Homo-oligomer: A and B are copies of this chain.
Amino acid sequence: MTEELAKHKLIQYIKERVPISENESEVITSYFELRHLPKKSFFIQEGQECIYHGFVISGTLRVFYSDPKGLEHVLYFGFADWWVGDIASFNTHEPTHINVQALEDSWILTFSKDGIEELFLKVPILERLFRIMAQRTLSVLQKRFFLTVSANAHDRYKELIERHPGIEQLVPQHQIASYLGILPESLSRMKKQLLHKK
Collect the chain B residues with CB atoms within 8 Å of residue A88's CB.
Answer: 138-139, 142-143
**Separation in Å of the A145 CB from the closest CB of chain B?**
5
| Residues B150 and A73 in contact, CB atoms below 8 Å apart | yes
Collect the chain B residues with CB atoms within 8 Å of residue A146's CB.
Answer: 65, 67, 73, 75, 97
A131 at the binding interface (Cβ < 8 Å): yes
**Separation in Å of the A31 CB from the closest CB of chain B?**
17
**Separation in Å of the A163 CB from the closest CB of chain B?**
15
A48 at the binding interface (Cβ < 8 Å): no
A13 at the binding interface (Cβ < 8 Å): no
**Separation in Å of the A94 CB from the closest CB of chain B?**
10
In Å, the complex CA distance between A13 and B168 comes to 47
Identify which of A37-45, A103-111, A122-130 touches chain B.
A122-130
A61-92 interface with B by 8 A CB criterion:
65, 67-69, 71, 73, 75, 87-88, 91
Neighbour of A141 across the interface among B69, B73, B128, B138, CB < 8 A = B138
Collect the chain B residues with CB atoms within 8 Å of residue A142's CB.
Answer: 75, 88, 141
Q: Chain A residues in contact with chain B, CB under 8 A? A: 65, 67-69, 71, 73, 75, 87-88, 91, 97, 120, 124, 127-128, 130-132, 134-139, 141-146, 148-151, 181
Could you jot down 24 A-B contacts, CB within 8 Å?
A67-B150, A67-B151, A68-B150, A73-B146, A73-B149, A73-B150, A75-B145, A75-B146, A87-B135, A87-B138, A87-B139, A88-B143, A91-B132, A120-B128, A124-B124, A130-B131, A131-B134, A134-B134, A138-B138, A138-B141, A141-B142, A144-B145, A145-B148, A148-B148
